[in-house]
Amino acid sequence: MRRLLIGGIVLATVLSTTAVGYRLGAGTWPTLNTRRTAPAMDAMAAKSIASPIAAVDRKVLYWKDPDAGTDFSPSPKKTAGGRDYIPVYDDQEPDFASGTAKKIAAAKGAPRKLLYYRNPMGLADTSPAPKKDWMGMDYIPVYEGEEQDASIVKVSLDRVQRAGVRTAPVEMRRIARPIRAPGTAKPDERTMRAITLRADGFIEKLYVSETGRHVKAGEPLFRLYSPDMVRVQVDYRNATSTVGIRDERGAVQRLRNFAVPETVIDELLKSRTPILSFDWPSPVSGVIMQKKVIDGQMVKAGDELFRIADLSNIWVITDVSEQDIASVKVGAPAKVSFRAFPGEIFNGRVTFILHELDPATRTAKVRVEVKNPDHRIKHEMFADVEIDAGAGEGDRLVVPNSAIIDSGSRQVVLIEKGEGRYEPRAVKLGMRGDDFVEIMEGVKAGEQVVVTANFLIDAESNLKAALQAFTAAPSVDKMEVKP
């Protein structure tokens, strides 16, 4: 009923105006001039559209030129000829919207709310109405849900592919922290044994006559004649023939004090006849490291005749630098490679850390034990040792080392937001390891960080920040107020 009423009023107004013209003596009915009546019709149509009832439901986005349609205004305005700009409402599809935007809106099945228009070159300049930049490029409409964060960097998908941008997830994992140091093979000092006598004697026969020979426990080393040891055996025989068992025990103890082998003592107890010369067995199994005796030699009590070491277990003494020594713990696993065996790795474990530094090299001695059952590792061999200082520790939140953009005073990673959008985010770094670095704060597990071509994106981020600072509007307190 209201639409009919409005239409009737418009029709009555037109007819009354025409009738007046005829009465004034024009002689004929006035011809309708399209050029002159169009403004009135546009204005009336605009008034009918912007009725109070429609204004309640619709919102005016901007006003456009009624003639060309390429000039826009955020507020009501008139042309040079005095015509009113036509309002465009929020439920109307803008004329400048691209085909892609229309397709997206159609795919969503619902009209999108237009928020503003942004500079096509990415500058910090927006407009409530369509406009062009200084190069004549149209500003790009931004709809609800497409708001751009100032910290987001937008890179075209084509450029992302050409630059080879790759990402990796932020994840929880153990950081391997290898500490590399040079080392030298040494014998296990706990297995070394010196062969000495507690009485003077003569070497009647030498069974082991070369250095480096491997001997087993109980194997005879030489045949010995010792007057002192024979004298104790004679005393033992005399004691057992006169006073009995008490002095026998004393005589046997004197033989043990001379370190006479138990096999000799057992034979003496059975026969009760003194043994003038006897074989001296090796107390341990090992390799003859040193030989200081020959056949027929007279030796004094306390002289070292042989030195034996077990080479089935070897020590590798490494020189760890002062800045890394705090990360090395006893029990940490280690990998040892010898230059004599290229490509072969021997597994070991840290068993001792010396409690002082070498003042000349500022390094600490660390002992790594390695199994050597076949005696392939020789003493004084040079070795390269890699100690896993992170063994036994829990998982940490880490990213690849290549994801960090380090300016010295600030560390940044780039978070992928999808569709070519990346967010630079400052992070706090923790422990570093092989290929990974711990993130104390700034990211969370599951986020994707850029690991390649991140300097390209960072350069665009810095350029964007610089342009925003350059084009930012001055603050109110710095603006000059003109009367």
Q: What is the pLDDT of residue 454?
A: 65
- 168 to each of 2, 22, 400, 449, how far by Cα in Å? 64, 84, 8, 5
Higher per-residue confidence, 25 vs 131:
131
Is 9 a residue whose pLDDT tops 50? no
Query: What's the rounded Cα separation, in Å, for the pair 113 and 364?
Result: 69
Higher per-residue confidence, 279 vs 97:
279
Is 13 a residue whose pLDDT tops 90? no
**Residue whose C-alpha is closest to residue 66's, from 77, 58, 55:** 77
Q: What is the pLDDT of residue 88?
A: 81
Residue 246 backbone dihedrals phi, psi, to 5 degrees = -65, -50
pLDDT confidence tier of residue 462, bands split at 50, 70 and 90: low
**Residue whose C-alpha is closest to residue 115's, from 150, 81, 148:** 148
- pLDDT digits 0-9 by tens, 304-344: 999 999 999 999 999 999 989 988 999 999 999 998 899 89
For residues 170 and 445, the answer to whether their CB atoms sit within 8 Å is yes
**Domain 198-302 is in which class?**
mainly beta
pLDDT confidence tier of residue 203, bands split at 50, 70 and 90: very high
Q: Which amino acid is at 218?
A: G
Q: Where are the domains of the chain?
A: 1-31, 33-92, 99-143, 153-173+395-470, 178-188+311-388, 198-302
Is 3 a residue whose pLDDT tops 80? no
pLDDT average, residue stretch 394-408:
86
Is 108 a residue whose pLDDT tops 50? no
Q: What is the pLDDT of residue 326?
A: 87
pLDDT average, residue stretch 246-274:
80
Query: What's the rounded Cα separation, in Å, for the pair 298 and 431?
Result: 64
Is 267 a residue whose pLDDT tops 50? yes
pLDDT confidence tier of residue 419, bands split at 50, 70 and 90: confident
Order the strands of the 220-225 sheet from edge to edge. 277-281, 220-225, 201-206, 298-299
CATH (residue range 178-188+311-388): 2.40.30.170
Q: What is the pLDDT of residue 151?
A: 60
Q: Which amino acid is at 110?
A: A
- pLDDT digits 0-9 by tens, 119-161: 766 565 778 888 887 777 788 787 766 555 556 766 666 666 7
Q: What is the pLDDT of residue 219?
A: 93
Is 384 a residue whose pLDDT tops 70? yes
Is 201 a residue whose pLDDT tops 90? yes
Answer yes or no: pTM beyond 0.85: no
Query: What's the rounded Cα separation, in Å, for the pair 353 and 325?
Result: 9
Is 105 a residue whose pLDDT tops 90? no
Is 38 a residue whose pLDDT tops 70? no
Any residues with CB less than 8 A from the CB of 26 and at least 6 apart, and which? none
Range among 9-23, 25-39, 438-452 with highest mean pLDDT value: 438-452
pLDDT average, residue stretch 192-197:
93
For residues 119 and 128, the answer to whether their CB atoms sit within 8 Å is no
Higher per-residue confidence, 183 vs 67:
183
pLDDT average, residue stretch 2-29:
41
Is 55 a residue whose pLDDT tops 60? no
Any residues with CB less than 8 A from the CB of 357 and at least 6 apart, and which? 322, 325, 363, 364
Q: Packing angle between helix 227-242 and helix 245-257, nearest 10 degrees?
A: 170
Burial letters for 416-429: b for 16+ Cβ neighbours within 10 Å, e otherwise? beeebebebeebeb
**Cα dihedral value 363, 367, 368, 373, nearest 10:** 140
Is 7 a residue whose pLDDT tops 60? no
Query: What's the rounded Cα separation, in Å, for the pair 122 and 233?
Result: 107
Q: What is the pLDDT of residue 410?
A: 82
pLDDT confidence tier of residue 11, bands split at 50, 70 and 90: very low
Residue with tokens 């009113």: 84
Q: What is the pLDDT of residue 123?
A: 60
Is 43 a residue whose pLDDT tops 50? no
Q: What is the pLDDT of residue 136?
A: 77
Higher per-residue confidence, 332 vs 476:
332
Query: What's the rounded Cα separation, in Å, for the pair 421 and 442?
Result: 18
Q: What is the pLDDT of residue 315?
A: 96
CATH (residue range 153-173+395-470): 2.40.420.20
Q: Quick one: three-class SS letters along the chain?
A: CHHHHHHHHHHHHHHHHHHHHHHHHHCCCCCCCHHHHHHHHHHHHHHHHCCHHHHHHCCEEEEECCCCCCCEECCCCECCCCCECEEEECCCCCCCCCHHHHHHHHHHCCCCCEEEEECCCCCCCEECCCCECCCCCECEEEECCCCCCCCCEECCHHHHHHHCCEEEECEEECCCCEEEEEEEEEECHHHCEEEECCCCEEEEEECCCCCCCEECCCCEEEEEECHHHHHHHHHHHHHHHHCCHHHHHHHHHHHHHCCCCHHHHHHHHHHCCCCCEEEEECCCCEEEEEECCCCCCEECCCCEEEEEECCCEEEEEEEEECCCHHHCCCCCEEEEEECCCCCCCEEEEEEEEEEEEECCCCEEEEEEEEECCCCCCCCCCEEEEEEECCCCCCCEEEEEHHHCEECCCCEEEEEEEECCEEEEEECEEEEECCCEEEEEECCCCCCEEEEECHHHHHHHHHHHHHHHHHHCCCCHHHCCCCC
Higher per-residue confidence, 230 vs 1:
230
